[in-house]
Amino acid sequence: MKKRLEEAFKEANQNSPCTIFFDELHLMMGKEAHEDRHSKDLVGQFLTEMNTRKKGVLVIGATNEPGQLDTTVARRFKFHYKLHLPSHREKLCLLQSMISKSGMVNLLSTKEIQKAAYMLDGYTVNDLENVVEKATGLAIDRLANANYFTPISCNKQKVFIPCQPEDKRAIKASDVPEVSEVTSVICWKYLESSMKTVKATPTASKKTELQDGN
């Protein structure tokens, strides 16, 4: 780890102006560093690199546990910012955007997306991405194992989506015209299942960003 730290700063100095970003900084340089020789050496190396780096090298660190970060390292950063979790409105917009970018037929109603935003209280942006990714994965699995399809209109084109055999317009997979497009759909069933599986990042509300101000 110490060697990788040296290499990171060396490359940054050679390519200045440059930014180095350390995520979960407390895992690398926590308060227990003074009790472990390897960690203590790592902290020492980090402080040395911070003091000898070129003027144009900006160092940013992020942590979910600011209280666990080595105090010497924390003091080395001039600016401390607390990053708050997305609001309900922000989660709503993020979910709509992520679902739209998935490229799937969206069968979710506005009320269902609003409900999901409320249910995802305490989730980070990355957590929301994981929820949508899990939901789309379930939709893809459903498509891959579908035996029946039904036609719907999407962007003024007819496409076929997976359905149950009892659907009034259901046809067997083997009967879908070869030139037709079959596609996955994202619906409440998959989103709800995903939300039950993907949990919020622990202590996410404590996310803090540190910036040295160089």
* Domain ranges for the chain: 2-77, 88-197
Query: Residue 28's pLDDT is what?
Result: 87
Query: Residue 203's pLDDT is what?
Result: 59
CATH (one of 3.40.50.2300, 3.40.50.970, 1.10.1380.10, 3.40.50.300) for 2-77: 3.40.50.300
Query: Residue 34's pLDDT is what?
Result: 58
Return the SS3 of 177. coil
Which CATH architecture best describes the domain 88-197? Orthogonal Bundle (1.10)
C-alpha–C-alpha distance, residues 43 and 76, integer Å? 11
C-alpha–C-alpha distance, residues 158 and 138, integer Å? 23
C-alpha–C-alpha distance, residues 128 and 130, integer Å? 5
Q: What is the pTM of this model?
A: 0.70
C-alpha–C-alpha distance, residues 214 and 20, integer Å? 12
C-alpha–C-alpha distance, residues 122 and 193, integer Å? 18
Residue 74 has pLDDT above 60, yes or no: yes
Residue 37 has pLDDT above 80, yes or no: no
Residue 205 has pLDDT above 60, yes or no: no
Element (H, E) at 90: helix 88-101
Residue-wise pLDDT for 86-143, tens only, equals 999 999 999 999 999 998 999 999 999 999 999 999 999 999 999 999 999 999 999 9
Tokens representing 101 are 């970018």
* Contact predicate 46/2, CB 8 Å: no
Query: Residue 21's pLDDT is what?
Result: 95
* Contact predicate 198/133, CB 8 Å: no
Cis before 17? omega within 30: yes
